[in-house]
Chains A and B, each alone.
Chain A
Amino acid sequence: MSYQPTIAARAELLVLQGSPFCNVDCAYCYLPNRRDRRRMPMATVSGAVRWLVESGLADDGFTVVWHAGEPLVLSRDWYDEAFAHVAKAAPGLAVRHAMQTNATLLDAPWARFLRERDVSVGVSLDGPAHIHDAARRTRAGGGTHAAAMEGVAHLREAGVPFHAIAVVGAPALADPDGFIAFFEVLGATELGINIEETEGVHASSSLTDVHARALRAFLDRLIAHAAVHGRPRLREARRLLALLRSDAFGPALRTQENVAFRIVTVDVDGGLHTYSPELAGAAVPGWDGLPLGHIAQDDLPAILASARFRRLASAVERGVDACRDVCAYFPLCGGGAPSNKVSETGRFDATETQHCVRSVQILSEIVLTRLERDLATEPARERAMRR
């Protein structure tokens, strides 16, 4: 049986690796070259955007995410030049810029810069210091919480809205109340929960099967708190509620990560990648991390016709189809993330992973049970969750 790859009509995200370098050395990071201090040449910035436009994948409102390394290790002058190159390469298109940062380098001038350029900001924070510093450490082994909180204070002072993404591992499970109290008052517009994964060069998670019960209890507490108090606003609850209300709900559902070219990642060398951004450069059994092509040499039709892309796309497609056939949670999930499948099993055509169990099944169960209870008893709760 031959599998036709599902190709995006337009790209939603262009991930640009301004630099692979990161000033922090988190224990769970999936990036392989985070000591590499190279910067993306401006010709590559322009070329990446031009490639997207010429491929017909760029549409009004696509987002450039500066990531796959700490974005603030580059200078504000560098970004001013880069933003100008992006605008010039995408004439007439409203391009939004976004950065996911560890906030440790974020000072008052950076906060002003982000506000004035209307950059969407996400801060990676795992909770209070004793949780955050367990994994988010400098290369010398020091904690990074104090510096990150200084950065957050600058954002708040400058009136820059930001969301937070927290990796939940064993340290958070040990103190759910501390975690919840921290994010309740942080001032983030939304909190995304990433359950610690086995991904890329991070070959083992701090979470084991022993933690399954603790994880369930943690998420139950967090979601109950968010539902009753309206804070922290949870990305996962909002997404699930939006999906339950959406016409996209059903067997045709797909994720952003398992449709080819819905996310386009361009690495520092101009290499082109798609599906999960974590696949760029991450060599794991079953995937070499090498690009599918290069912005200066390969147009979209050439990549689509290449044996390498067709092998990858066929395996991803088989994996999504298999998920649809065997998993009761498919209508809430859409077939999972290729990076998690290959990192955990060495195959793109796998079905259930630990990531599915923790981040989709357990989470969905808790939100669904909460909704069942609240819809039957107290209408205001659901409204609080939506907020």
Chain B
Amino acid sequence: MSRSRIVAPLRRLVAALLGAAALGSDAAAAPQPQSDASRPVIERVEAIRNALRARDAESRADADAAATERHAQWFNWPNWNNFWNNWPNWGNWPNW
């Protein structure tokens, strides 16, 4: 089992037990959004944005750890995380 697979869940568990502030982790501190269509849209969206930011920070940390590990094992092994993030951006395609 890779080091990141052990370290990341452990870090989350310790953060949950001790409180995020003690570890200085924004990821663990972020509240999870609750599904409630009666809440104002902007409140729901802000909660989702906070959760996404936290998730992204956590993913990056996990990906970095995993990439370091892969690099140690297989020199030049492709970084698939980077591959997916660089999927072609069709964002400028008109919406019609």
A375 and B93: CB pair below 8 A? no
A169 contacts across to B, CB distance below 8 A: none
Q: Number of contact residues on B: which range applies? A: 20 to 34
**A256 vs B49: C-alpha distance in the bound complex, in angstroms?**
23
Minimum Cβ distance to chain B for residue A126 (Å): 15
- The answer on a CB contact under 8 Å between A12 and B95 is no
Point out the residues of chain A lying under 8 angstroms from B35, CB to CB.
Answer: 369, 372-373, 376
Q: How far is the CA of A365 from the CA of B41 in the complex (A)?
A: 9
- Interface pair B45/A332, CB less than 8 Å apart: yes
Q: Does B77 contact A (CB under 8 A)?
A: no
A residues with a Cβ closer than 8 A to B are 12-13, 15, 63, 65, 98, 120, 122, 161, 163, 189-190, 192, 194, 235, 239, 241-242, 244-245, 249, 255-257, 263, 276-278, 328-329, 331-332, 337, 339, 364-365, 368-369, 371-373, 375-376, 379, 382-383, 386-387
Q: Which of A122, A244, A372, A383 contacts B93 (CB 8 A)?
A: A122
The answer to whether the Cβ of B65 comes within 8 Å of any Cβ in the partner chain is: no
Whether A375 and B92, one on each chain, are in contact in the complex, defined by CB atoms closer than 8 angstroms, is: no
Residues of A within 8 A of B53 (CB): 245
Knowing A192-B95, A276-B96, A331-B45, the reply to whether A376 touches B88 (Cβ < 8 A) is: no
A239 / chain B contacts, CB cutoff of 8 Å = 91
Residues of B contacting A328 with CB < 8 Å? Answer: 40-42
Q: Which residue of B lies closest to A387 (CB)?
A: B84
B90 at interface, CB cutoff 8 A? yes
B24 beta carbon closer than 8 Å to chain A? no
Shortest B92–chain A CB gap in Å is: 5
Q: Is the CB of B87 within 8 A of A375?
A: no
